[in-house]
Amino acid sequence: MKKFVVTTLFITLILSLSANAFDGNRKGFVIGCGLGLGPVAKTDGVNNPGFALNFLFGYAWDEQNMIVYLEDVIAYTEKSYDGKNLLVLQGFQGIGYFHYFGPQGKSFFINGGLGIQGWTAIDLDDESSSFWSSNNESDEIGLGFLIGGGYEFAGHVQFYSSFSFGKSSDDYYNYNHRQLQISISVVAF
């Protein structure tokens, strides 16, 4: 009986939290993602444009301010020095802050972030290679910064652009990263 009561209370709590989480008000739990273009994905002067992806989740303490975990990544393909076909994921991940200037649905916003910058290269010719493989080429991560902004033109849909930069290194070389992405994002709140 005790397990039943505890389980019932836990399920009731979870359901009530999720019902309040997505109530249409920006205040509370937020989660979002977006797709777009990454016209600039530079590493030491070499630009590799690609597809832009972004993801966020966090908490908005009022209708204008939220703090989130943020990932902004540009994915592109290239050939390595030894002829391998690589899928490269270059980007920023860290803590981000968003500030909206107006009411929900028609508002400009700005954001900034502090986190890590780096890249991972997945060998497309190796069937055993995947994003989670330990044999991927990858540099060491380094300190990264992000600034951005956009316009929320519908209740949960926004035009978003960001610029991130940082440095990373591996055993042989220090890398300077720069990336610009433009996307359409959907944010649930």
Q: Mind listing the pLDDT tens digit for each residue in 148-184?
A: 999 998 878 899 999 999 887 777 777 788 889 999 9
pLDDT at res. 34: 92
Q: Is residue 53 part of a domain?
A: yes
Alpha-carbon span 108 to 24, nearest angstrom: 18
At 98-149, the pLDDT tens digits run: 999 987 778 999 999 999 988 888 777 766 655 555 555 665 678 999 999 9
121 close to 86: Cβ distance less than 8 angstroms? yes
pLDDT at res. 17: 47
Q: Is residue 13 part of a domain?
A: no
Which of 188, 165, 159, 178 is CA-nearest to residue 35?
159
The model's pTM: 0.78
Q: Is residue 18 part of a domain?
A: no
Q: What is the CATH number of the domain that holds 124?
A: 2.40.160.20
Q: Is residue 113 part of a domain?
A: yes
Domain that holds residue 125: 23-188
3-state helix, strand, coil in the chain (%, to 5): 10, 65, 25
Q: Is residue 11 part of a domain?
A: no
pLDDT at res. 79: 80
Q: Is residue 133 part of a domain?
A: yes
Q: What percent of the chain shows pLDDT beyond 90?
A: 33
What is the total count of domains within the chain?
1
Q: Is residue 161 part of a domain?
A: yes
At 128-141, the pLDDT tens digits run: 655 555 555 665 67
Q: Is residue 142 part of a domain?
A: yes
